[in-house]
């Protein structure tokens, strides 16, 4: 079905008939619009975001190219911004590089004009979300939060990338073959890729069930695993030594909560047994595509083909060996470096980087590639990793060298409590959780990846992080801050209890919420 913006189209009627709900969702009110809007909202999931903050968003497709965040329906023949409607299953239109350059020019002009000055420096906050985010959801987050972040004294920039589960798996199934986007040429193999995923789900089922059971054991309060014992002993030494700023969370679950949780687990054990192998097989394939997309943000496939526009341009100017990183985020960062250099340099700017989950993988590459510029070290003076999906090794290889270069920089690790990590669950109804328990980081460590060593496990799990802290150079330890939040329903108004709660409702832009020694505060949990 083709949807246009002309005449009495569905998109146009939807836009005319809807009103903005206080929560950000759209709803219809006039009875005359009822059927169209009902089907559009309920069956299609189409919504209107009344004011997309384009001055605060850079957004990229699954191919690493910049896209127009203002709409993906009714936008085909219109320049950015198109102000169309938003449908979670429809990709956003990619922008040609000349339009992207104009888009960035507008963003940077707003940044220079509106960035708050604190301590004589203009302050920016760059936030990068994690995996399993729909494109519509990332835009709604920016629309909902940018004013709150501005009020806290930052000019926010949201880096939105295509990390949804559905699009990632479809890329794996239909198009991506051995690291290459084969387009339609990849489709004939799709049935065999699907069959391989199904076969893998069956073959690996006993392994997955074993790890699933072991993770469930970790949430039992009177059972202590060797990794927890090691982490506790090392943490005690760190606290005595006082070189690393560390705050350990407490397990504050009461008996009622744990009994209900246990009964729920037993009652839903059959669904967990049935779903775990499929999450392992299909989730692993989607995870690999999401990892691919974190790289495409910096280096697109076009850089590796002499037939691409970027390669032809480089050849015309200097030769193929002078192709620049063509990913949309690389282009943004080069422009940002130039703007910083032309407007006072590092002494005039103060940048905070915040990454959640897979967003820390993106940030590691950003810091590695753009932490230094021809004009000097970029002023990434505060770096906060929330539930980092980046490996311990990647974190160490990236952050330690940067901290050594920028002596003003402080680094913050924010983690769930180990017990909260183990019993994290999707429960649309309280105590009714059908899939396997465990945070995304647990799934990554146990199912979705295959760590070769303990260094290859995720840095955002407190038990992985603590046991690796001996690698931290002595001269950097006083600039590393680690906060493990408390576990328990009684703490849900002050402390994140699940992996997804770090980007909402946790107020990730408030520095006081990162401080290990500061008491938990309800001001850090704000419902959108």
| Residues comprising the chain, all counted | 528
Q: Is the peptide bond before 81 cis (omega within 30 degrees of 0)?
A: yes
Q: What is the DSSP string of 19-85?
A: EE-TTS-EEE--GGGHHHHHHIIIII-EE--S---GGGEEEE-TTS-BB-TT-SBS-TTSPSP---B
Question: In what helix (H) or strand (E) does residue 123 lie, and over which residues does it extend?
Answer: strand 121-128
Instruction: Please indicate, yes or no, if residue 16 is contained in any of the structural domains.
Output: no
The answer to the question of residue 391 being in a domain is: yes
Cis peptide leading into 505, omega within 30 of 0? yes
CA distance 128 to 362: 8
**Residue 4 predicted with pLDDT over 90:** no
Query: pLDDT for 391-429, tens place per residue?
Result: 999 999 999 999 999 999 999 999 999 999 999 998 888
With contact defined as beta carbons under 8 Å apart, do 257 and 141 qualify? Answer: no
Mean pLDDT, the chain, as a whole number?
89
Within a domain: 217: no
Q: Where would I find the H helices in 155-303?
A: 165-170, 190-203, 205-218, 226-241, 255-267, 269-296
Closest CA to 110 of 146, 148, 61: 146
Q: Taking a C-beta distance cutoff of 8 angstroms, is the pair 358, 386 a contact? A: no
Q: How confident is the model at residue 222 (pLDDT cuts 50, 70, 90)?
A: confident
For residue range 259-270, list pLDDT tens digits in order.
Answer: 999 999 999 999
User: What percentage of the chain exceeds 90 in pLDDT?
Assistant: 81
Res 76: pLDDT = 61
Return the number of other C-beta atoms located less than 10 Å from residue 99's C-beta.
Answer: 16
**What are the pLDDT digits (tens) for 17-49?**
333 333 333 333 344 344 343 334 434 457 778
- Between CA 153 and CA 368 the distance in angstroms is 26
Query: What is the structure's pLDDT at 294?
Result: 98
* Residue 247 belongs to some domain of the structure: no
Residue 328 resides in a domain: yes
CA atoms of 13 and 34, how far apart (whole Å): 11
Contact between 295 and 365 under an 8 Å Cβ cutoff? The reply is: yes
Domain count, the chain: 1
| Mean pLDDT value across residues 153-175 | 97
- pLDDT at 7 (0 to 100): 30
Q: Is residue 53 assigned to a domain? A: yes
pTM of the model: 0.91
pLDDT of 42 reads 39
Cβ atoms 81, 54 nearer than 8 A = yes
Question: Would you say residue 10 lies in a domain?
Answer: no
Segments forming the whole domain that contains residue 64: 49-175+278-524
- Give 349-389 pLDDT, tens digit per residue: 999 999 999 999 999 999 999 999 888 999 999 999 999 99
**118 within a domain of the structure (yes/no):** yes
Q: What are the two backbone dihedrals, phi and then psi, of residue 432, each rounded to the nearest 5 degrees?
A: -125, 90
Confirm if 12 and 19 have CB atoms less than 8 A apart: no
């Amino acid at each position: 079905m083709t949807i246009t913006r002309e005449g009495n189209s569905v998109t146009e009627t939807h836009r005319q008939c809807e009103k903005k709900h206080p929560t950000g969702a759209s709803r219809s009110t006039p009875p005359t619009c009822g059927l169209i809007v009902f089907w559009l909202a309920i069956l299609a999931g189409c919504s209107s975001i009344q004011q997309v903050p384009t001055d605060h968003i850079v957004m990229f497709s699954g191919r690493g190219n910049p896209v127009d965040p203002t709409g993906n329906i009714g936008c085909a023949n219109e320049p950015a911004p198109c102000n169309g409607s938003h449908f979670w299953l429809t990709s956003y239109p990619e922008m040609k590089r000349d339009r992207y350059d104009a888009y960035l020019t507008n963003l940077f002009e707003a940044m220079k004009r509106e960035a708050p000055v604190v301590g004589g420096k203009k302050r920016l906050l760059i936030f990068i979300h994690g995996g399993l985010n729909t494109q519509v959801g990332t835009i709604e987050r920016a629309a909902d939060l940018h004013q709150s972040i501005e009020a806290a004294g930052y000019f926010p920039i949201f880096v939105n990338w295509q990390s949804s589960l559905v699009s990632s798996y479809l890329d794996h199934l239909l198009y991506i073959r051995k690291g290459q986007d084969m387009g339609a040429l990849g489709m004939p193999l799709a049935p065999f890729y699907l069959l391989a995923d199904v076969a893998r789900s069956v073959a690996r089922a006993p392994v997955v069930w074993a790890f699933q059971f072991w993770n469930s054991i970790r949430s039992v309060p009177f059972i202590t695993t060797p990794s927890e014992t090691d982490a506790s002993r090392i943490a005690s030494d760190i606290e005595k030594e006082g070189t690393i700023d560390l705050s350990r969370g407490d397990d504050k679950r009461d008996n009622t909560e744990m009994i209900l949780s246990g009964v729920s687990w037993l009652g839903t054990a059959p669904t967990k047994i049935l779903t775990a192998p499929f999450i392992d097989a299909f989730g692993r394939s989607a995870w690999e595509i999401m990892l691919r997309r974190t790289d495409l943000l910096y280096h697109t496939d076009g850089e590796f083909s002499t037939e691409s526009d970027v390669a032809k341009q480089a050849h015309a100017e200097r030769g193929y060996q002078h192709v620049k990183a063509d990913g949309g985020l690389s282009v943004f960062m080069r422009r940002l470096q130039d703007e910083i250099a032309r407007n006072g340099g590092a002494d005039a700017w103060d940048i905070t980087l915040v990454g959640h989950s897979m967003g820390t993988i993106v940030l590691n590459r950003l810091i590695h590639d753009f932490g230094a510029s021809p004009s000097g070290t970029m002023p990434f003076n505060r770096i906060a990793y929330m539930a980092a999906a980046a490996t311990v090794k990647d974190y160490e290889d990236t952050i330690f060298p940067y901290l050594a270069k920028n002596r003003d920089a402080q680094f913050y690790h924010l983690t769930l409590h180990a017990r909260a990590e183990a019993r994290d669950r999707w429960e649309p109804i309280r105590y009714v959780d059908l899939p396997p328990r465990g945070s995304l980081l647990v799934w990554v460590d146990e199912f979705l990846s295959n760590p070769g060593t303990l260094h290859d496990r995720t840095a955002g799990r407190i038990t992985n992080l603590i046991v690796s802290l001996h690698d931290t150079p002595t001269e950097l330890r006083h600039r590393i801050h680690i906060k493990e939040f408390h576990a328990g329903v009684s703490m849900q108004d002050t402390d994140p209890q699940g992996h997804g709660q770090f980007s909402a409702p946790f107020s990730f832009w408030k520095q006081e919420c990162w401080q290990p020694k500061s008491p938990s505060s309800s001001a850090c949990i704000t419902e959108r």
